[in-house]
Amino acid sequence: MILRAGVLAALAVACLAGPAGGIERPRVVSLDYCADQYVLALADRSQIVAIATGPDDAHSALRDRAAGLPRVRDSAEDVLALAPDLIVRSVGGGVRAQAFYARTGLNVHDLGFPRGFDDIQGIIARTGAALGQDERAAGLIADMRADLDAAASPGLPARVLYVTPGAVTSGSGTLIHAMIEAAGLENAAAADGANGWVSLPLEALVLDPPELIITGFFDQPDIAADHWSLTRHPVLTDLLARTPVIHLDGALIGCSDWGLARAARLVREQANSLLGEGS
């Protein structure tokens, strides 16, 4: 793949060069839990001035690494008081954050919104460069690609439905769709023409039920299904009871990062077991 080879080649050159001119790595603040994942994975602990989440945050896949680190709200006053060299953000600070902090002279690294794993690879590389951590970024990319290679290992095909506590599923054009495809499975919602995030089509599920269900975020205490959610509808509760189910930790799939590749590997492994593929 041209993109993969190009990014890894650029990272290899950067790794040999090290931080440009021996400049110290930037002191960094991250403004939301997805930005935290990149900072916690790539930055030295001594670089981290403050992050948005702590060790008690169920949304953070790397929450254990957050123990003992200062926390910051995404308000401008709190961030400016810390005088970081670099701000990393996904949605923290709102849509005007980039322009606002640029006017104050602070450097802002926006992660952006990837559409697939090649985009995630690019974000890892760019974030590693911004943090002066090209070598660590190269290692993280290699780990992600290893997970994707494992997810693509032979296995039985299946028609899969993704379900959230809010009775929403994921069609084409989403990273969940990319994860399902990376595991060699068919996304039932996308096959039925759904694009983006849509409500569960209960009628279609009755007529053409999936062979496998993947649930996400059912482990998150603040995203539990309420009494009015379609996930409590008899059609869906019956489907969940008689269909093989793979439960994914919400923190693993909650951000646009390498965790989705790990999820794809776990889905493939569990699908092989549930569908009877020999181990």
Alpha-carbon gap, residue 47 to 40, rounded angstroms = 10
Which has the minimum average pLDDT: 9-18, 46-55, 132-141? 9-18
3-state helix vs strand vs coil in the chain, percent to 5: 50, 15, 35
Give the residue carrying structure tokens 């092989």.
272
Whether residue 148 is predicted with pLDDT greater than 90 in this model: the reply is yes
- Answer for the pair 259, 61: CB distance below 8 angstroms, yes or no: yes
Domains and CATH numbers, the chain: 2-149 (3.40.50.1980), 155-274 (3.40.50.1980)
Give the residue carrying structure tokens 């400016």.
80
Strand partners, 161: 213
pLDDT tens for each residue of 252-275: 999 999 999 999 999 999 999 998
CA torsion through residues 19, 21, 23, 29, sign: negative
pLDDT averaged over every residue in the chain = 86
Chain center to CA of 133: 20
Most confident of 6-20, 69-83, 108-122, 155-169: 108-122
- Answer for the pair 248, 269: CB distance below 8 angstroms, yes or no: no
The pTM of this model reads: 0.85
Q: Output the pLDDT for position 12.
A: 41
Strand partners, 159: 186
Alpha-carbon gap, residue 248 to 269, rounded angstroms = 13
